[in-house]
């Protein structure tokens, strides 16, 4: 399988930083996660294409980024396959 494109890896890293900042802020108090306008526009565009809310799209990218960071040897397709199998195991 082909490795993740450099742009996608950079994007995942950016989203992961947002995720970490969000977790830190949650420990103190709930708040708004500040992201760049460009990143917000990219999330909005992707959420439209994927028929998700903006928050759901950002959460998806955060989760994928976290999984990619924890499993650097896996491709995006392999990560998605593992998550689908994990969900099937939890439901059945």
**pLDDT over 70 at 9, yes or no:** no
Structure confidence at residue 13 (pLDDT)? 65
Please identify which residue in the block is written with the tokens 């950016």: 14
Structure confidence at residue 4 (pLDDT)? 60
CB 61 within 8 A of CB 9: no
Q: Mean pLDDT across the stretch 63-91?
A: 91
Q: For residue 74, give the DSSP letter.
A: S
- Counting every residue written for the chain, the total comes to 92
- This prediction's pTM: 0.60
Structure confidence at residue 35 (pLDDT)? 87
Question: Which is more confident, 81 or 10?
Answer: 81
Per-residue pLDDT of 11-61, as tens digits, reads 776 666 676 666 655 555 556 778 899 999 999 999 999 999 888 899 899
């Amino acid at each position: 399988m082909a490795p993740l494109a450099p742009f996608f890896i950079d994007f995942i890293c950016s989203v992961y930083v947002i995720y970490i900042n969000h977790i830190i802020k949650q420990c103190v108090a709930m708040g708004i996660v500040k992201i760049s306008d460009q990143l917000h526009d990219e999330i909005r565009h992707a959420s439209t294409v994927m028929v998700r809310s903006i928050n759901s799209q950002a959460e998806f990218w955060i989760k994928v980024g976290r999984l990619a960071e924890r499993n650097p040897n896996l491709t995006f397709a392999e990560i998605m396959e593992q998550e689908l199998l994990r969900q099937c195991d939890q439901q059945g």
